Amino acid sequence: MSKLDSKIPEGSLDQKWTKYRSTIPLVNPANKRSLEVIVVGSGLAGASAAASLAEMGYQVKVFCFQDSARRAHSIAAQGGINAAKNYQNDGDSIYRLFYDTVKGGDYRAREANVHRLAEVSGNIIDQCVAQGVPLAREYGGLLSNRSFGGTQVQRTFYAAGQTGQQLLLGAYSALQRQVGTGMVTMLARHEMLELVTIDGKARGIIARNLITGELEKHFGHAVLICSGGYGNVFYLSTNAMGSNATAAWKAHKKGAFFANPCYTQIHPTCIPVSGDHQSKLTLMSESLRNDGRIWVPKKKEDVEAIRAGKLNPNQIKPEDRDYYLERRYPAFGNLVPRDVASRAAKERCDAGYGVNKTGQAVYLDFAHNMKYKYGKMEATKKGIQNPTEAQLEALGMDVIKEKYGNLFDMYEQITGVNPYKNPMQIYPAVHYTMGGLWVDYNLMTTIPGLYALGEANFSDHGANRLGASALMQGLADGYFVIPYTIGVYLSTEVTRMSNEKDKADSIDKVKTKHPEFDKELAEVKARIDKFLTIKGTQSVESFHKRLGKIMWDKCGMARNKQHLTEAIKEIQDLRAEFWKDVRVLGTADEFNPDLEKAGRVADFLELGELMCKDALHREESCGGHFREEHQTEEGEAKRDDVNFAYVAAWEFKGESNFELHKEELKYENIKIAARSYK
Amino acid sequence: MGSGNEQFLNLTLKVWRQKNSKTAGTFETHQLTGISTDMSFLEMFDVLNEKLIHEGKDPIAFDHDCREGICGMCSMFINGRPHGPKQGITTCQLHMRSFKNGDTIIVEPWRSAAFPVIKDLSVDRTAFDRIISSGGYVSVNTGNAQDANNILIPKSAADEAFAAAACIGCGACVATCKNGSAMLFVSAKVSQLALLPQGQAERKERVLNMIAQMDAEGFGNCTNTGACEAECPKGISIENIARMNREFIGASLTTPNK
Amino acid sequence: MSKGFFKSSIGKKVIMGLTGLFLVSFLVVHVGINSLIYANDNGETFNAGAHFMAHNPLIRVMEIVLFAGLILHAVQAIILTMENKKARPVAYAMTNGAANSSWYSRSMALLGILLLMFLVVHLGNFWVPTKQALMANEEHNTFENLKVVFSQWYFVVIYLIGVFALCYHLLHGFQSAFQSLGLNHKKYTPTIKKIGIWFSIIVCLLFASMPVTMFLGIIK
């Protein structure tokens, strides 16, 4: 039977967390002061966890590779954060948020975790507002909401198109406050390069000071991996350039299971690729789908004319446009979940209806709502009777500007096209990874003392994440889950410490002087030296690009057995080539961004293989994982609940060798059903 | 995709090279050919670095991360201006269509005593973090909050606070200020919290401590030229600086000596 | 006032602003008295004004305060400028200040130095003779003094340069003082800025007109 114990508490679903929380062993304040916690990553999960734990009295060290904790990529989240506040009186509830999230995740998430997430969602909003996060308000002074994909209520809180920024800066300020008090030691421009385990427990990390190149040993009674997702395996994604899987992957290789690596979210509304020089992709917030209608021309000849630059899309008559989401999914229309919207775009483009030169773009068009929704509304407000089309457009444009101004500006910066006058061109791009380190209900991985929070773990989104839920999960884990659940483990550490207090060689006394730290440090050093001594002919960047292409072509929006089998082989070959022919210049004892990248790409080259293996083994289509062999006649995903209603947790056994462990998913409160948005 | 009228440029690039904070730097000239106007400025640097690596030369170090204008990590001083010739954007959002064939482009790091150069175009901006640590927060521990709708905040106050909170901490204000002053950055945070009811309890202490830390970091003094506001990629207004002056004068007048 | 206020960057700016506005108020008086020459009555009205200014005890006290204010303004400016230089030890190879700010807002120190140099000449021309006469207990004919000085073209040029420096110093300084004192408000700042501009232009045009009209013999 499985080695996996998810430690889900007994009791009814809505009582599990409340009851469990009040029975978790406590650590008394005096003992907290002698317990050290390492937090890797300073995004929403990391910063909120570090701040909260420091407030409680633990000694915390935070590591991030950027120059400041405030740069973490949570900052780029645009649209919003969900919370079951029911401020809009539209029938929202904790249960509904829970239900939407499980359904949105295509019934591949753990009920208990998701319900807990929904329960604490309201507290997150309260906490952020108390920190001075300026969320959007109505004229009466109350908080404002908008709707997001996959839901039929308005539960998304936002701050213009910069919600992630505002929430992160809130968590960052809480973190910096603790830095000021001395409870948190902030180590920016530091990268975790190895996890140190002693007697099977996480005991610290080896980190590289990125400025001096010095390798450092850091001890902790617990280590929290809050380093985000691994979308950059695909090279082109909406992730930041530095986003990487190294911390999580090192933990995996030290024994932490990696769950559902094949679940990657392809976001439907990104700015299409412009050329070979492309270094990253930019998201246009899902909130745009509130007011933008997605379409391609119905007629092939119109497509041809557009591609040739002979036809402007505005000239195409409404009856010649295929609003394919509204056509296929009348109930949710343009607000279907991300995976559904992405596949639908791919389907149209594969059928030859893509509207740019590469054939990989569809329109996101605001003209209709600009004129006939907002324009009319404003005209009525202003008492203009029988407004002209031009008047409607001008009035509506002001509203659109107010709502999405920064996104429209960003679009114009990147493409050089004015989106107020022309429909936006969009195409799906890798955005988020639902998979991650396997964690139990306490967010602890299979290594005692090692935790994973936020996007770095796998727990709450199943096979597909709903919009505005990533911010919710990151902050839930950091502010409201880990501060309690870490006590389960650390209280046992307290007992151990008091038993060992007379032992001269107890880990609490020797800390980083333990020989295991030196051994790991030597291995990290050897690996770095290896990069520098290969002196091959190809740049790190070029390997990353090639890996990304394999992943996107064969393990992207649609997958099949043949492609995945080929991809595994290709990745293995590419990895071998990398270790023979990569060229990394400079030295180890200086600021060397290319050397940093070499380490990250080396890890992507291993993780990519596991993703393909996971995708190959999962003989069903669910959420972000679409196997071409498993679809209905209309091209909808076909899940297999009999054989695949489990979490696939992979154990590292050596190069290219992973053992599968299964955690069965039981649905006791939700009736598992085919996901329909029709 | 792009603008649909992609062109290719030949450019001369003069880039600041500096090994580390202890050594002096110098300019290095590079010729680039066939740079697409659809490329971002940083993608042009990627192309150059790829070329340098191919030639066995040390690639140019520069800070960047999100490449969508929000993380605040990118920081180049391009042809005499932070984040280059266009207003309201960061370097990563600057595209090569803003340049002409045959242009010479001079790229320098942010220059400030408080932002020592780490290498080439990378600088150390941790002074900003220390300023935030000195008071740029509301002291509310996790779990202490009341319901978010209990305190009404007028939309105008929320919007104004948001406009100040939009600061990305990139340091362009310091970089462009002829005095190397950090007043715009500090005032953005002071204003955000002064405008909201949640920031009231620590209002006086906050501004006094943050100014003390700002001064200790070695930033220059504001002479109200307004360059910071003009160059800020997020359009933070110098009204915030006036507000901070007001807050500081008020707090100084009414806070007893310790 | 909390300790260290005057040592803080904002405290120093507040002093600059307050002393600046004080000096502005002096300019109002100065330009007012000087404009009496436009009575064009062979200096009778003007000399009466000058006499009042030289002998009124309150004005004599204010004169000392004025010098103190001027010195404070100048010394503080020197300190600030030195600090600002230290804040950027390595200069940019290329700056394009014109893209984001006005040249005179960036040149306050230079304009200030010009003004100081001008003041030396100016005091030598008028203040010193007045004081000498006062000490000798003689009546000083300031108007004659004016006529003699402004009959020499190079003094006219020097005065025009001085007024030019003053004008641009004021154009930035006037509204900048309000900003430093925290007096910026969406409703009032545009008016303050307008007043600043008109003040600078009117005061400086008046000052500039005096040497010119006297040199040309329009004022006799």
Mean pLDDT by 10 residues, chain A (678 residues): 84 96 94 97 98 98 98 94 96 96 95 98 98 96 88 91 95 98 98 98 98 98 98 97 98 98 96 92 88 95 93 94 95 89 94 92 94 92 91 93 86 92 95 97 98 97 94 98 97 95 92 97 98 97 97 96 98 98 97 98 98 98 96 91 97 98 95 83
The CA-atom distances, in angstroms, between B37 and each of A413, B1, B15, C153 are 12, 12, 20, 58
| Cα A207 to Cα A58: distance, rounded to the nearest angstrom | 21
> Residues of A236-269 as b/e, b for ≥16 C-beta within 10 angstroms?
bbbbbbbbbbbbbbbbbbbbbbbbbbbbbbbbbb
| Cα A184 to Cα B169: distance, rounded to the nearest angstrom | 21
B142 and B241 both lie in a single domain: yes
Domain that holds residue B113: 8-119
Last residue of a domain, one of B99, B119, B139: B119
B172 and B142 both lie in a single domain: yes
Structural domain contains residue A653:
yes
Q: Which residues of chain C does B113 touch, with a Cβ-Cβ cutoff of 8 Å?
A: 86-89
B109 and B139 both lie in a single domain: no
Residues 6+ positions from A91 with CB-CB distance below 8 Å: A153
Q: Which residues of chain B does C93 touch, with a Cβ-Cβ cutoff of 8 Å?
A: 14, 16, 27, 106, 108
Q: What is the DSSP annotation of B73-122?
A: ---EEETTEET-SSTT--GGG-BGGGS-TT-EEEEEE--BTTB-EEETTE
Angle formed by the axes of helices B155-165 and A163-181, nearest 10°: 70
Domain that holds residue A597: 514-664
| pLDDT tens profile A456-466 | 999 899 999 99
Q: What is the DSSP annotation of A624-648?
A: TB-BTTSB-TTS-B---HHHH-EEE
Structural domain contains residue A654:
yes
| Cα B241 to Cα A66: distance, rounded to the nearest angstrom | 28
| Cα A552 to Cα A157: distance, rounded to the nearest angstrom | 33
Last residue of a domain, one of B65, B91, B119: B119
Mutate to test the interface with C, among B245, B247, B257, B258 (most CBs of C within 10 A): B245
Structure tokens at B102: 């045959």
B168 and B54 both lie in a single domain: no
A523 and A648 both lie in a single domain: yes
Structural domain contains residue A572:
yes
B110 and B139 both lie in a single domain: no
Last residue of a domain, one of A389, A413, A429: A429
A632 and A531 both lie in a single domain: yes
A277 → closest Cβ in B43, B97, B129: B43
Question: Which helix (DSSP H) or strand (DSSP E) does residue A195 occupy?
Answer: strand A190-198
Number of domains in chain B: 2
| Cα A433 to Cα A454: distance, rounded to the nearest angstrom | 11
pLDDT band at residue B1 under the 50/70/90 scheme: very low
Last residue of a domain, one of A391, A409, A429: A429
B242 → closest Cβ in C89, C92, C184: C184
A533 and A629 both lie in a single domain: yes
Structural domain contains residue A441:
no
C-alpha dihedral (A625, A630, A631, A632), degrees to nearest 10: -150
Interface of A with B in 114-143 (CB under 8 A): 123, 125-143
Cβ-defined contact of B231 to C183 (cutoff 8 Å):
no
pLDDT, position A2:
57
Task: Give the CATH number for residue A646.
Answer: 1.20.58.100
Picking from B188, B226, B234, B229, the residue whose alpha carbon sits closest to that of residue B88 is B234
pLDDT, position A676:
78
B176 and B247 both lie in a single domain: yes
User: Which chains does chain B touch, 3 or more C-beta pairs < 8 A?
Assistant: A, C
DSSP B60: P
Structural domain contains residue B3:
no
Structural domain contains residue A422:
yes
Q: Where are the beta strands (DSSP E) in A236-369?
A: 258-259, 264-270, 293-297, 321-322, 362-365
User: Is residue A600 flagged as an active site residue?
Assistant: no
Structure tokens at A375: 């324009």
Task: Give the CATH number for residue B27.
Answer: 3.10.20.30
Structural domain contains residue B2:
no
Cβ-defined contact of A279 to B40 (cutoff 8 Å):
yes
Chains C, A in contact, 3 or more Cβ pairs below 8 Å: no
Structural domain contains residue A669:
no
Interface of B with C in 127-156 (CB under 8 A): none
Structural domain contains residue B199:
yes
Phi first, then psi: what are they for B108, rounded to 5°?
-125, 160
Cβ-defined contact of C88 to B180 (cutoff 8 Å):
yes
A536 and A644 both lie in a single domain: yes
Predicted ipTM?
0.97
Number of domains in chain A: 2
Percentages helix, strand, coil for chain B (3-state, rounded to 5) are 35, 15, 45
A274 → closest Cβ in B38, B147, B198: B38
Structural domain contains residue A417:
yes
Cβ-defined contact of A410 to B36 (cutoff 8 Å):
no
Cβ-defined contact of C87 to B231 (cutoff 8 Å):
no
Is the distance from CB of A476 to CB of A82 less than 8 angstroms? no
| Cα A214 to Cα A187: distance, rounded to the nearest angstrom | 13
B113 and B53 both lie in a single domain: yes
Last residue of a domain, one of B119, B145, B179: B119
A422 and A527 both lie in a single domain: no
Q: How far is B142 from chain A (nearest CA, A)?
A: 6
pTM: 0.96
Cβ-defined contact of B251 to C2 (cutoff 8 Å):
yes
B247 and B136 both lie in a single domain: yes
Q: Is a pLDDT exceeding 80 seen at residue C1?
A: no
B131 and B100 both lie in a single domain: no
Task: Give the CATH number for residue A396.
Answer: 3.90.700.10
pLDDT, position C64:
95
Structural domain contains residue B1:
no
Q: Position A510: which residue type?
A: V
Cβ-defined contact of A67 to B70 (cutoff 8 Å):
no
pLDDT, position B4:
62
B131 and B105 both lie in a single domain: no
3-class secondary-structure state, position C67? helix
B125 → closest Cβ in A68, A128, A240: A68
Residue pointed to by tokens 């200086």: A590
Domains and CATH numbers, chain C: 10-87+102-215 (1.20.1300.10)
Q: Which residues of chain B does C8 touch, with a Cβ-Cβ cutoff of 8 Å?
A: 211-212, 215, 248
B156 and B234 both lie in a single domain: yes
State the average pLDDT over residues C1-21: 90
Question: Which helix (DSSP H) or strand (DSSP E) does residue B11 occupy?
Answer: strand B8-17
User: Catalytic: which of A338, A343, A559, A618?
Assistant: A338
pLDDT, position A403:
82
pLDDT, position A150:
75
Mutate to test the interface with B, among C184, C186, C189, C192 (most CBs of B within 10 A): C184
pLDDT, position B2:
46
Cβ-defined contact of C182 to B243 (cutoff 8 Å):
yes
Q: Strand A201-209 vs strand A215-219: parallel, antiparallel, or unpaired?
A: antiparallel
Structural domain contains residue A590:
yes
Task: Give the CATH number for residue B170.
Answer: 1.10.1060.10
| pLDDT tens profile B241-251 | 999 999 999 99
Interface of A with B in 392-421 (CB under 8 A): 409-410, 413-417
Residues 6+ positions from B31 with CB-CB distance below 8 Å: B10, B11, B12, B13
Cβ-defined contact of A539 to B193 (cutoff 8 Å):
no
pLDDT, position A1:
42
Is the distance from CB of A433 to CB of A231 less than 8 angstroms? yes
| Cα A230 to Cα A239: distance, rounded to the nearest angstrom | 9
Q: Tally DSSP H helices, then E strands, for chain B.
A: 8, 7
Please indicate if any CB of chain B lies within 8 Å of the CB of A553.
Answer: no
